[in-house]
Structure 1
Amino acid sequence: MTSDKNDSVVIYTSVDQVFSEPILKEFENKTGIKVKALYDVEASKTVGLVNKLLAEKKNPQADVFWNSEVSRTIQLMNQDIFAPYKSIHWDKYPKEAKNENYYWTGFASRARVLIYNTDLLSESELPKSMFELTQPEWKGRVSMAYPLFGTTATHISSLYATIGKEATESYLKELHDNDVMIVDGNARTRDLVVEGVVPIAFTDTDDANVAIQQGKPVDTLYFDKEGIGTLLIPNTVSLVKNSPNSVAGKHLIDYLLSAKTEEMLAYGESAQMPLQSGVKKPEFIPDIADITAMNVDYEQAATYIEESAEFSKKLFIR
């Protein structure tokens, strides 16, 4: 039974604390509602919180789940963890970035990109496609986060949904055979490029932008502009079913889906791309409409998350 208290709210979030905490503090200051946040760790992005929400299903402790990606959110939806909630801002978001039955809403997107060291690679040397990274000239020169967690897992499951199981697994095998360096998290892949250990790596725009804003010799590449495109990964937010403080939870969801939050995420270090039209953002952040985005059904991709993780685990086991 919910108490529907308005004075506090519990949120589980996989969004890096450095990015999410200022927004949650702003919500506290604006509303007077106390926020208790539980953050996840980089190496097991999202998975720890997913397991916690599942374990607490019969006695929910969280009111809101703010996820840095979408596949695990859909998994939880299919496990009956969420209650539908149509935010006052729901209609402002594109159809492909939200659940039609209001179980999750996507906002403030990142993109999967390649980050490269500008001291080690010239523009003429850059690959146009991520599929080129299986070629001999890239052997041992590419890094990727362990593909069981976070956005890397979402990327792999999205490939299953977009180009098919056989083509995706063949690509992963070729990456493996080309000595791709597997590390813990997208921040680590970025750091390897910054340090010059490898010249190029898979990461997300938020991690890449941190290094760019620090003046590191790196830049980003939105790959496959003439092919399948790059994967856009929105944040997602959901109301936990039978949560202790659902009224406060709904207030927090409305705040997270506001133009103010998208603006804060755009101007923050994570440099996330607003999904609402007309939201203020720095000039260097591209408009969503100007990116060749992978045409992926997120809910279909989520059906492959376990299969793709199992394959990746066997292939890249350490």
Structure 2
Amino acid sequence: MNADPLRRGCRFASNAGLVGTILALMLLTGCGGDEQEQVVLYSSLNEPTARPVIDRFEEKTGIRVIFQGDTERDKTVGLVQSLLEERHRPRADVFWNSETANTVRLQREGVLARLDPPPDSAALIPDAYVDPEGYWFGFAARARVLIVNTDLVEEAEMPNSMWDLTDEKWRGKAALVRPVTGTTLTHMTALYEIIGEEETNRFIQGVIDNECHLPPGNGRLAQLVGQGQIHFGFTDTSDFRLVKNEGYPVIAIYPDQDSIGTMLIPNTVSKIRGGPNPENARKLINFLLSEEAEEILAHHPRGHIPLKPDIDRPEEVLVPGDFEVMEVDFQRVGEQITTRLDQFDRRFR
């Protein structure tokens, strides 16, 4: 990819540390004098996955999307910090987050604007994945699954619960992403609400004591399992599908189906308070929450899980009802995310 965003239609900035300088220049210069309408999108979803949706929006509306992504290592956290630092002079219009908890954090910090009236398709989204006050809306989810290498694990020994990571027989053979970013941080924080403080701390300590591998991201974890360097571990369905599509001997286990269920984490979209292009922000949000956008993401190789009913999808993309879903209060999770992040950072040094 060309490293100079200004030479590519002002659409990309690959280095999160340059976001302020680059976007300020874009907005002041109008991308070299071009009067085309634009909207500034911050997204923690990786650009190759987001790009087909963005391209379709640009084709339909003629509005240029200036895209600012995050790194796998800093997944979500880097952009959240940028949005907090920019809150008094926002550069972004829309935040497309690949999870929920940090979106709630931004809402609590006053960074987000309430959408009133709600976006066009809001009524089709299940209540569990919508902020009741209208600050954020969920779409295109991923499930938190166990990716298992079938060459290393016999069928009779297949893990089927989060607690298998703490089982002595898997010492040094299982993995969990260090829970300080992205969906893993959201997942581990949610456990405090689902199974309580004592049991969650017991699980976390069990992961440490059982010498679980701690890769830097879900994509890397999935690759390590596919390559046979790790027997199994927690990842997102999107990362599992990429490794599966590459031909590696892996399967996805939807864990804890007879107890707490499998966690489902939606992407979320929200409008930035005081952003420079408010009308175009609403247009982009309406499209991201459309049935068309969810269908595009469902058919992407990563296979995001539609939340709206009757969205066309590949057969292998399972939806709620095909598996038991963990009941999560994302507002409560978001309220705890900063505290839990500090705790995890200390425990997983």
Runs of 4+ with deviation above 2 angstroms: none
Higher relative contact order (CA 8 A, sep 6+): 1
Q: Tell me the distance in 1 between the aligned counterparts of 2:337 and 2:199.
A: 16
Alignment match, 2:339: 307
CA distance in 2, matches of 1:164, 1:223: 18
SS in 2 for 1:313: helix
1:179-258 superposed matches below 5 A: 179-258=211-290
Q: Separation in 1 of the partners of 2:243 and 2:204?
A: 27
Match of 2:120 among 84, 88, 96: 88
* 1:97 aligns to 2:129 (yes or no): yes
Task: Give the alignment of 1:124-135 within 5 angstroms.
Answer: 124-135=156-167
SS in 2 for 1:303: helix
Point out the more displaced range, 287-296 or 246-255: 287-296
| Residue 31 (str. 1) matches residue 61 (str. 2) | yes
Instruction: Give deviations 1:199-232, integer Å, cap 9, x for gaps.
Output: 1011000000001112111111100000111110
Greater displacement, 148-157 / 132-141 = 132-141
Q: What is the percentage of aligned positions where both structures have the same residue?
A: 39
| Residue range with higher mean Cα deviation, 78-87 or 117-126 | 117-126
Shift of residue 194, structure 1, vs aligned partner: 1.1
1:16 equivalent to 2:49? Answer no
Q: Tell me what 2:299 maps to.
A: 267
TM-score, with normalisation over the residues of structure 2? 0.88
With the length of structure 1 as denominator, give the TM-score of the two structures.
Answer: 0.96
8 A Cα contact 1:60 1:244, kept in partner:
yes
- Pairwise CA distance, 1:287: 2.2
8 Å CA contact retained: 1:13, 1:67: yes
CA deviations over 1:48-96 (Å, ceiling 9, x no partner):
0000000000000000000000000000000011111110111010011
Residue 163 (1) aligns with residue 226 (2): no
Q: What amino acid is aligned across from residue 105 of structure 1 in structure 2? A: F
Q: Which runs of 5+ in 1 are unaligned?
A: none
Distance 2:336 2:173 in 1: 28
Does structure 2 conserve the Cα–Cα contact (< 8 Å) formed by 1:6 and 1:245?
no
Q: Residues 61-140 of structure 1: matches in 2 within 5 Å?
A: 61-85=91-115, 86-140=118-172
1:144 corresponds to which letter in structure 2? L
Moved more, 281-290 or 264-273: 281-290
Structure 2 partner of 1:144:
176
Q: CA deviation at 1:128?
A: 2.0
Q: How much has 1:308 moved relative to structure 2? A: 1.9
Residues in 2 aligned to 1:233 and 1:300: alpha-carbon distance in whole angstroms: 14
The gaps in structure 2 that reach 5 residues or longer are 1-34
Superposed displacement of residue 35, structure 1? 0.5
Q: Tell me, yes or no, if structure 1 residue 45 matches structure 2 residue 72.
A: no
Q: How far does the alpha carbon of each residue in 1:285-311 deviate from its partner, in whole angstroms, 9 at most, with x for none?
A: 112122211111011111221222222
Cα distance in 1 for residues equivalent to 2:146 and 2:160: 10
Q: AA paired with 1:300?
A: R
| Contact kept in structure 2, 1:187 and 1:207, CA below 8 Å | yes
CA-based RMSD of the aligned residues comes to 1.1
* CA contact 2:114–2:134 (8 Å) conserved in 1: yes
Aligned residue identity for 1:72 = N
Which residue is equivalent to 2:29?
A: none
Partner letter of residue 246 of structure 1? Answer: P
- The answer as to 2:230 corresponding to 1:172 is no
Between the aligned partners of 2:90 and 2:346, the Cα distance in structure 1 is 33
Q: Aligned equivalents of 2:319 and 2:341: distance in 1?
A: 31
Deviation, structure 1 residue 122: 2.2
Q: Amino acid of the residue matched to residue 268 of structure 2?
A: T
The total of aligned residue pairs comes to 313
Q: Distance in 2 between matches of 1:178 and 1:231?
A: 23
2:36 and 2:324 map into 1 onto residues whose CA distance is 42
Could you report, residue by residue, the CA deviation over 1:97-144 in whole angstroms, capped at 9, with x for unpaired residues?
001111000011100001011111122111221112211101000111
**Matches of 2:160 and 2:251, distance apart in 1:** 14
CA contact (8 A) 1:263 1:279 kept: yes
Q: Residue 6 of structure 1: CA displacement?
A: 8.2
Q: Secondary structure at the match of 1:290?
A: coil
